[in-house]
Amino acid sequence: MELTAIIVVVLALIVTIYGVLIYNNLVRLKHDVARSWSNIDVAVKQRHDELPKLVEVCKRYMGYEQETLERVIRARGAVFEARSRGDVAKLGSAETALRAGLGQLFALAENYPELKADEAFKHLSTRVSQLEEAIADRRELYNDGVNLNNVRIEQFPDALVARAFGFKPFDLLEFADARADVDLGKLFG
């Protein structure tokens, strides 16, 4: 009887230790996703702060392109709202609209040599482009973390621990590559 009790205690201890390891790994994944989201948030906020400056510089030269400038500002507001609520799905669609607006803005800037030569425009457009690349890179890291988390909470035996402690899946951050969709014929035709 004593040997059976020892075996049961050892097995219970092994299962408990394994459960703790699974739990700790799931916690780490959850925090990795949160950190990745925070990194995206920082880059989106930085770009949010730069866009009014870029639009203001463009307004000086692009008086007839008010609709494009307003589209960028509306999309910027939608991104800010989705970001502040942590709504990944709405952020994705707002990012798509903003990227389309920026693509049109940069394409239209080609018609304004004075604007293209303006140092403030050059600096701000370079800065916004760098932030776009940073957001894309950070989005990739975020989506990798989300994917790892979501797979782990569905796999056995992790799913048992995840359900017991309320671990939830995260949404991927998806947006279309709107820059490729800019129809230059419509813009200049």
pLDDT of 182 reads 44
pLDDT of 63 reads 74
Where are the chain's structural domains?
A: 2-188
Residue 61 token pair: 């030269």
Q: Which of 121, 96, 109, 98 is nearest to 184 (CA)?
A: 109
Is there a contact between 67 and 147 (Cβ–Cβ < 8 Å)?
A: no
Three-state secondary structure readout of 2-14: HHHHHHHHHHHHH
Residue count (the chain) = 189
* Statement: the pTM of the whole predicted model exceeds 0.85: no
The H or E element that residue 38 is part of is helix 2-61
pLDDT of 180 reads 46
Residue 153 token pair: 């909470």
In whole numbers, what is the pLDDT of the chain averaged over residues? 88
Share of the chain residues as helix, strand and coil, in percent rounded to the nearest 5:
85, 0, 15
Locus of tokens 């800037």: 109
Low-confidence ranges of the chain (pLDDT < 70): 1, 64, 177-189
Architecture category of domain 2-188 in CATH: Up-down Bundle (1.20)
Q: Tens of pLDDT along 148-178?
A: 999 999 999 999 999 999 999 999 998 775 4
Helices (H) and strands (E) in the chain, counts: 7, 0
